[in-house]
Amino acid sequence: MGVNTEKYKEILKELNGKATLVAVSKTKPVEDLQALYDLGQRDFGENYVQELVDKQAVLPKDIRWHFIGHLQSNKVKFISPFVHLVHGVDSGNLLAEINKQAIKNNRVIDCLLQVYIATEETKFGFDEAELQNVQWCNYPNVRIKGLMGMASFSNDMELVKNEFKQLKKLYDQLPAQGIQPTILSMGMSGDFKMAIDEGSNMVRIGSLLFGERNYNK
């Protein structure tokens, strides 16, 4: 438990202002988030709606909360009053629901479309063809800021690199669809340096900062 302060500083130095660091704090106690907050961190990423809502209630109000998990439509309402950026939008239905809840809260919610780039079956997201058919303009209270993707969990760094390249290519094609993207969210603890080299400007880092996660506590 606890925050690795040295690692935090090292990562910020490595990013050198080229990418936003989202500190992924799922399963970690609020004390750990507060410790990182006290070092100046403001962007935090969570995967579970209830956990995010509980943490948001007790932590400083100027934290920018990123939802990076798989979001179910029926839970959008719980985070829509305050969420800063939803990274994992992977269906038109979800976009419609986010739009609806954004209207209720009288705000615009920023979103990233999640693209399926990995070889694994378990990861969510649009494929290339689906991405081109997203009817984003039907949802005035949703603002598509860019793309998010997760590379394969693999030691084959050539594979990972090619997946990042593929995501960057799709990102660069968004203007042809009328989207002017500014955020490419790719890279985690194990691959963020390569992600930056391949054009990422937002990395989601958990275990390097907070240590390994224990889901069985």
Residues in contact with ligand PLP by the rule CB under 6 A = 24, 26, 47, 68, 150, 188-190, 204-207
Q: What is the DSSP letter of 193?
A: H
Shortest Cβ 208–ligand PLP spacing (Å): 6
How would DSSP label each residue in 43-61? EEEES-HHHHHHHHHHS-T
Q: Quick one: 50 or 61, whose CB is closer to ligand PLP?
A: 50
State the nearest-atom distance from the C-beta of 140 to ligand PLP, in Å. 27
| φ, ψ for residue 181, nearest 5 deg | -80, 150
Residue nearest ligand PLP (C-beta atom): 206
The distance in angstroms from the start CA to the end CA of the chain is: 12
Rounded least distance, CB 90 to ligand PLP, Å: 12
Taking Cα atoms as reference points, which of 64, 1, 15 lies closest to residue 200? 15
Which residues share a beta bridge with 147? 113, 184
The answer to whether the CB of 130 falls within 8 A of the CB of 172 is: no
Q: How far is the CB of 204 from ligand PLP (least distance, A)?
A: 4
CB of 200 to ligand PLP, least distance (A): 12
DSSP 128: H
Task: CB nearer to ligand PLP: give 92 or 190.
Answer: 190
The least CB distance from residue 189 to ligand PLP, in Å, is: 3
The two tokens of residue 133 are: 């058919």
In terms of CB distance, is 41 or 47 closer to ligand PLP?
47
Cα dihedral 186, 118, 166, 17 in deg (nearest 10): 10
Which CB atom, from 97 or from 191, has the smaller least distance to ligand PLP? 191
**Residues sharing a CB contact under 8 Å with residue 134, sequence separation 6 or more, in sequence order:** 92, 95, 113, 126, 177
Cα distance between residue 201 and residue 15, in whole Å:
9
Pick between residue 181 and residue 206 the one whose CB is nearest to ligand PLP. Answer: 206
In angstroms, the CA 112 to CA 146 distance is: 5
Of 103 and 199, the one with the shorter C-beta distance to ligand PLP is 199
